[in-house]
Amino acid sequence: MSKYDVLCIGNAIVDIIARCDEKFLTDHGIIKGAMNLIDAERAELLYSHMGPAIEASGGSAGNTAAGIASFGGRAAYFGKVSNDHLGHIYTHDIRAQGVAFDTKPLQGHPPTARSMIFVTPDGERSMNTYLGACVELGPEDVEAEKASNSSVVYFEGYLWDPPLAKEAIRMTAHQAHRAGNEVAMTLSDPFCVDRYRSEFLELMKSGTVDIVFANESELISLYQTSSFDEALKLIAQDCKLAAITRSEKGSVVVRGEERAVVDAIEIEELVDTTGAGDLYAAGFLHGYTQGHGLADCGKLGSLAAGLVIQQIGPRPRQSLSQEAQQRGLLKAA
């Protein structure tokens, strides 16, 4: 048995979250619903125009790791912070959730990454990410013991933005496969897919990646087709397993000829979509590494995603294991 259920690898980012109106986005040239990469100067500028905010640890794969731990899974994380106050907060939060996190922090500049997240009245989040210390994540940060001792290694497509992380990913994937384990990725964002389409497809077709998470617009972007069904057929050919989220329409899971269609959970009030995809992946991978069937994996994903979008911030404050037990999706430990 592996020591960890899931090793997550991603950009370690502290979220700075505020509400704004639609006009703010257009006035500041922020692409709605997307992850906008920004430099230090633009970060200063946007922050000076941002309303009162709250801070919470985030980062796509970090949120997934926290979600898996909250479900009771054994999660580990690779991600680069700096040795500054935001880095301490990040490290505290992910460890306090029970995630094994030992990536050496950068000493000094650049500072810990932050993403200014603007939440519009419709609950949609638009992210503005300054990568900071994340640009230093590289092959030397691959801890072999975790890379080869995790049932699934999961990473975010966002890691193609910093210069060195893709080398770390390839190294980790190699170690995982050599140990007989699987590798999963999320396509992260439709614009990210647009930046790295051919590389992402190569990762899948070469078998570097076994399992793919994506939402509908990322999938559509990947195959540059307007047909969801067509794209679904293609991804079923290109990887072993894919889980495609469709917001309030739930998700579709494909494995070869097999299909599972899963409903979203009912939402009382949509507050902030930040973390929805990350938490879907957390629920799915928790079920998957516990040996559940595809539909049940999808239901755990729907549950976690549905809970996180009813609060501000990217990581649910409930115990996901309790929530899943109450709904009969997991047995009491």
Q: Which of 273, 313, 329, 330 binds a copy of itself (CB under 8 A)?
A: 313
For the segment 35-54, give every residue that binds a copy of itself (CB under 8 A).
Answer: 47-48, 50-54
Query: Looking at beta carbons only, is 201 or 271 nearer to a copy of itself?
Result: 271
| Cα(277)–Cα(279) distance, integer angstroms | 5
Query: Looking at beta carbons only, is 54 or 144 nearer to a copy of itself?
Result: 54
Provide, rounded to whole angstroms, the least separation between the CB of residue 234 and a copy of itself.
38
For the segment 259-298, give every residue that binds a copy of itself (CB under 8 A).
Answer: none
> Mapping DSSP to helix (H, G, I), strand (E, B) and coil, where does residue 94 land?
helix
Query: Looking at beta carbons only, is 91 or 245 nearer to a copy of itself?
Result: 91
Interaction between residue 174 and a copy of itself (CB under 8 A): no
Q: Which range of residues in 211-219, 220-228, 284-292, 313-321 is near a copy of itself by CB under 8 A?
A: 313-321
> Mapping DSSP to helix (H, G, I), strand (E, B) and coil, where does residue 65 land?
helix
Whole-number CA gyration radius for the chain:
18
Query: Looking at beta carbons only, is 18 or 232 nearer to a copy of itself?
Result: 18
Query: Looking at beta carbons only, is 17 or 294 nearer to a copy of itself?
Result: 17
Provide, rounded to whole angstroms, the least separation between the CB of residue 175 and a copy of itself.
29
Backbone phi and psi for residue 18, each to the nearest 5 degrees, phi listed first: -145, 155
Phi-psi region of 34 (alpha: psi -120 to 50; beta: other; left: phi over 0): beta
Q: β-strands 251-255, 241-245: how paired?
A: antiparallel
Q: Which of 195, 259, 317, 327 binds a copy of itself (CB under 8 A)?
A: 317
Interaction between residue 19 and a copy of itself (CB under 8 A): yes
Dihedral of CA atoms 320, 209, 178, 139 in degrees, nearest 10, equals: -90
> Mapping DSSP to helix (H, G, I), strand (E, B) and coil, where does residue 307 land?
helix
> Mapping DSSP to helix (H, G, I), strand (E, B) and coil, where does residue 90 land?
helix
Closest CA to 10 of 107, 117, 129: 129
Which x/- pattern over 60-99 shows residues binding a copy of itself (rule: CB under 8 A)?
------x-----------------xxx--x--xxx-xx--
Provide, rounded to whole angstroms, the least separation between the CB of residue 264 and a copy of itself.
22
Token duo for residue 125: 């989040």
User: Which single residue is written with the structure tokens 């009912």?
Assistant: 266
Provide, rounded to whole angstroms, the least separation between the CB of residue 297 and a copy of itself.
24
Query: Do residues 236 and 242 make contact, with C-beta atoms less than 8 angstroms apart?
Result: yes
The residue ranges that bind a copy of itself (CB under 8 A) are 18-19, 47-48, 50-57, 66, 84-86, 89, 92-94, 96-97, 311-313, 315, 317
